[in-house]
Amino acid sequence: MAKVIKLGFLGCGNIGGGVYHLLTEMHDEILKRENIDIQIKSALVKSIAEARTDIPKDIMTESADDVLTDPSIDIICEFMGGEQPAASFMQRALENGKTVVTANKMALALNWHKLQAAASAHGAGLYYEASVGGVIPVIRSLTVSLDADEIDQVMGIVNGTTNYILTQMSQQGRSYADVLAEAQKLGLAEPNPTADVEGYDAAYKLSILSSIAFHTRVTYQKIHREGITNISPDDIAYGREMGYTLKLLAIGKRAADSIEVRVHPTFLPNEHPLARVDGSLNAIYIHGRYCQDMMLQGRGAGDKPTASAICGDILYAATHMDNPTVPSFANTAEPDDAITFTDNWVCRYFIRLDAADTPGVLGSVASAFSAKSISIASLLQRPAADGRAQIILITHEASECAVQDALATLNPEIVRVESMIRVES
């Protein structure tokens, strides 16, 4: 006798539709492989009349209670997006002992401690593979395959929209505004692109990723976040000339009990594996004490790839109903007191200055850096209009505070700081 597993969907747009189609098309194969008969019982949407998917209308409902209180449903799949009401619906489901599968990084990153507490208290499972990197199996790789290792670095391209924009700017020398408008026309950027281009989406994902990698709760509030809206084609072009590619990276590093977590535009040497991840692809580079360097790459969005990851979670949940996976750390509202979060990380820096093209200016810049013990690794100088010059330099490793202090000592009437971009290797 096959085991029957009934699903209730909260939301059925892009991703809900993709999951419906995968489970319908693969139903018999899954039954054969796993002896599990997966049935989709109901799907919550805002409006049945205006539903955006072609799934049968008779399983759609406009009442969350129809899904949340149905005793026959085993697994609740959340594909609504946004923090609320998604988080409180998931909480109710877990409190009713239902296992939850979600793709919602925002609701999870902001409410994870409450959701995990509800899951653990009621013997339910909480699974979220698709919340970071779409189809890329990074959550399960870190939770299961690398569980015995000591991961000290995760560095990812986890937002396809910004990667598409930076790739186009880089390959075609176009402005941010121009490429964003095109991405919106192609449906690759939202009409309101803030969550993507200001780095919020990547920060939610980094909160989840680094918590799992470092076995401690890394709350969203601890993440330093900068977006790509101030990046100019000049920065990208000068970086390229010096051998670097610009990416929006989500970076987590741990050394003993100190953690740094940051999302910002970053130059990478052209030969770095992440530098070659273009367009809407996602990739996550991991370094650990034993695994050393590795990288996972794939589609970070789209209904089919995301559905593949979600359905993997559904099958895992269906086969582990009595012993759900729990995270390896205390999932508390605040980080562990023993951990310190630092904003004074060490890396190299790309700095572009607009300076008066007069004797002694370059010397004053060099002195400002050397006063803070920062040494310059490479430098370009290019004449600009009106007796000005562009000075572009890349430092050797320096601390964030030292670089900020050095830049603050420059006289803005003579040397204006146009951009400061971190460089990783």
Ligand X SMILES: NC(=O)c1ccc[n+]([C@@H]2O[C@H](COP(=O)([O-])OP(=O)(O)OC[C@H]3O[C@@H](n4cnc5c(N)ncnc54)[C@H](OP(=O)(O)O)[C@@H]3O)[C@@H](O)[C@H]2O)c1
What residues line the site for ligand X (CB under 6 A)?
A: 11-16, 44-47, 50-52, 79-81, 85, 103-104, 130, 134, 301-302, 306
Amino acid 250 reads: A
Query: Smallest distance, Å, CB 306 to ligand X?
Result: 4
Query: Smallest distance, Å, CB 180 to ligand X?
Result: 18
Task: State the residue for tokens 């049935």.
Answer: 39
3-state SS assignment for residue 345: coil
Please state, in angstroms and as integers, the Cα–Cα distance from residue 241 to each residue in 10, 229, 373, following that order: 49, 22, 26
As a whole number of angstroms, the distance between CA 101 and CA 395 comes to: 45
The answer to whether 112 and 100 are in contact (CB under 8 A) is no
Query: Smallest distance, Å, CB 157 to ligand X?
Result: 14
Residue (86 or 393) nearer to ligand X, CB: 86
Residue (52 or 396) nearer to ligand X, CB: 52
The vertex-120 CA angle with 310 and 68, nearest 5°, equals: 60
Per the annotation, the verdict on 185 as an active-site residue is no
Catalytically annotated residue among 6, 105, 185, 205: 205
Six-digit token pair at 307?
């559905």
- As beta bridge partners, residue 5 has 38
Residue (103 or 351) nearer to ligand X, CB: 103
The answer to whether 61 and 55 are in contact (CB under 8 A) is no
Please state, in angstroms and as integers, the Cα–Cα distance from residue 370 to each residue in 271, 342, 358, 397, 409, following that order: 29, 24, 20, 13, 12
Query: Smallest distance, Å, CB 115 to ligand X?
Result: 14
Six-digit token pair at 224?
């330093």
As a whole number of angstroms, the distance between CA 153 and CA 292 comes to: 10
DSSP 58: G
DSSP 290: T
Task: Spell out the residues 6+ positions from residue 173 whose beta carbon is closer than 8 angstroms to its own.
Answer: 233, 236, 237
As a whole number of angstroms, the distance between CA 276 and CA 284 comes to: 12
Query: Smallest distance, Å, CB 104 to ligand X?
Result: 3
Residue (45 or 183) nearer to ligand X, CB: 45
Please state, in angstroms and as integers, the Cα–Cα distance from residue 414 to each residue in 367, 380, 388, 392, following that order: 14, 18, 9, 15
Task: Spell out the residues 6+ positions from residue 373 whose beta carbon is closer than 8 angstroms to its own.
Answer: 398, 402
Task: State the residue for tokens 């805002």.
Answer: 46
Name the residue with the smallest CB distance to ligand X.
13
Tell me the catalytic residues: 205
